[in-house]
């Protein structure tokens, strides 16, 4: 767990204050899990949930992390993995830097990745389903 917690410190250091307040919980946890090299064992549960349509939305996950942490870590890792594969680590760092500059999350996502949160979630869910 130490590498995961160290990754949180690194993310906080990159983004600083007040930018860290703009990072959704799912992104912070997903990045920490990804950066710590913790391949998530919940990938199949996430794919099954996507097929059944039972996964919470990213907004729901962010608003009620404590109640959904188990699936939350798996979803968070999965979406960060997707972002890294599709956009590359350079853009992930650019997203953090945009947040550090005080840009709100949705605006930073649009600025760096060229998509908004609903489009990101839709693309990620399609990716999960193999489409």
Condensed to tens digits (0 to 9), the pLDDT of residues 27-77 reads 999 999 999 988 766 788 999 999 999 999 999 999 999 999 989 999 999
Whether the pLDDT of residue 108 is over 60: the answer is yes
Distance CA 70, CA 115 (A): 27
Distance between CA atoms of residues 101 and 1, nearest Å: 29
> pTM value?
0.91
**CB 34: neighbour CB atoms within 10 A?**
23
Joined together, the tokens standing for residue 70 give 């188990």
Report the run of H or E that residue 112 belongs to, with start and end: helix 105-113
3-state secondary structure 66-104: HHHHHHHHHHHHHHHHHHHHHHCHHHHHHHHHHHHCCCC
Question: Where in the chain are the domains?
Answer: 2-128
In angstroms, the CA 40 to CA 49 distance is 15
């Amino acid at each position: 767990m130490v590498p995961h917690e160290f990754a949180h410190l690194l993310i906080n250091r990159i983004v600083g204050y007040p930018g860290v307040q703009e990072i959704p919980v799912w992104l912070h946890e997903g990045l920490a899990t990804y950066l710590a090299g913790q391949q998530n064992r919940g990938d199949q549960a996430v794919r099954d949930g996507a097929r059944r349509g039972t996964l919470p939305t990213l907004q729901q996950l962010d608003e009620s992390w404590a109640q959904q942490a188990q699936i939350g870590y798996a979803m968070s890792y999965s979406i960060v993995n997707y972002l890294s594969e599709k956009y590359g680590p350079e853009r992930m760092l650019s997203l953090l830097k945009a947040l550090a500059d005080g840009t709100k999350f949705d605006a930073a996502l649009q600025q760096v990745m060229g998509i908004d949160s609903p489009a990101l979630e839709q693309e990620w869910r399609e990716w999960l389903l193999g489409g």
